[in-house]
Amino acid sequence: GESVGLHLPTLSVQEGDNSIINCAYSNSASDYFIWYKQESGKGPQFIIDIRSNMDKRQGQRVTVLLNKTVKHLSLQIAATQPGDSAVYFCAENIKGNNRKLIWGLGTSLAVNP
Amino acid sequence: GAGVSQSPSNKVTEKGKDVELRCDPISGHTALYWYRQSLGQGLEFLIYFQGNSAPDKSGLPSDRFSAERTGGSVSTLTIQRTQQEDSAVYLCASSLGLGEETQYFGPGTRLLVL
């Protein structure tokens, strides 16, 4: 048979490797960006955020990079673990847009033991 | 205290019936959001409440959808005359509001319309 439906981009990595998840955002007026992690059957969970006046922000094992010139956002996960397996969403907030986040489609990260 | 809670966790209904979905935000959070997530998709904004201001309903897909927030806390999303295309996970999120954008999500309600 033939499958129908949208398939999320998938990134498959080996446990212990670093992961890089990319996101292109749409609006040059966006001033705030967030990465969320969504595990199966759960709501999205906040990972890290960054404002447009910054290029880089680091958290625990995660780093977010923002390139405003090409409207590109990336999430780097160091030493990826099986528990990192999830769908990762980037979201942008357009300045003055009443704090409604605009969400990307998501990237599925699969960590192989 | 506890995070955002939603009920029911799962709901199966027949086409044409009305359903009510409940969201209890984090205590003290003035902003509350409803989203819809279809299988394998991103989040679709539905409605946003901020304090006592008029809600932003710009994301509601049709007049069959409505939401209330009583007392600035609990919110109910109502879908009237449900259709099969309403089947999705309905997610609620809350934030401190007043410029604090980080949203904290509940586990969602999985709605299946037969």
pLDDT, one tens digit per residue, over A32-75 is: 899 999 998 899 999 999 999 999 999 999 999 999 999 999 99
Q: Which pLDDT does position B6 carry in this prediction?
A: 97
| Helices and strands (H and E) in chain A: how many | 0, 10
Under an 8 A CB cutoff, do A46 and B101 touch? no
Q: Which pLDDT does position B7 carry in this prediction?
A: 97
Assess A3–B contact: CB distance below 8 Å, yes or no: no
Q: Which pLDDT does position A38 carry in this prediction?
A: 94
Q: Which pLDDT does position B79 carry in this prediction?
A: 98
CB count in 10 Å sphere of residue A5:
8
Q: Which pLDDT does position B88 carry in this prediction?
A: 96
Nearest to A43 among B31, B97, B107 (CB): B107
CA distance A102 to chain B (A): 8
Measured distance CA(B55)–CA(A31) in Å, rounded: 23
Q: Residue A1 pLDDT more than 50?
A: no
Under an 8 A CB cutoff, do B48 and A98 touch? yes
Look at A51-60, A64-73, A95-104, B13-22 and tell me which has the smallest mean pLDDT. Answer: A95-104
CB count in 10 Å sphere of residue A59:
12
Q: Residue B36 pLDDT more than 70?
A: yes
Q: Residue B75 pLDDT more than 70?
A: yes
Under an 8 A CB cutoff, do A93 and B93 touch? no
Calculate mean pLDDT across residues A5-12: 74
Confidence of residue B64 (pLDDT cuts 50, 70, 90): very high
Under an 8 A CB cutoff, do B31 and A99 touch? yes
CB count in 10 Å sphere of residue B35:
26
Nearest to B40 among A6, A49, A104 (CB): A6
Under an 8 A CB cutoff, do A43 and B105 touch? yes
- Mean per-residue pLDDT over chain A, rounded: 88
Structural element, H or E, at residue B22 = strand B19-24
Assess B95–A contact: CB distance below 8 Å, yes or no: yes
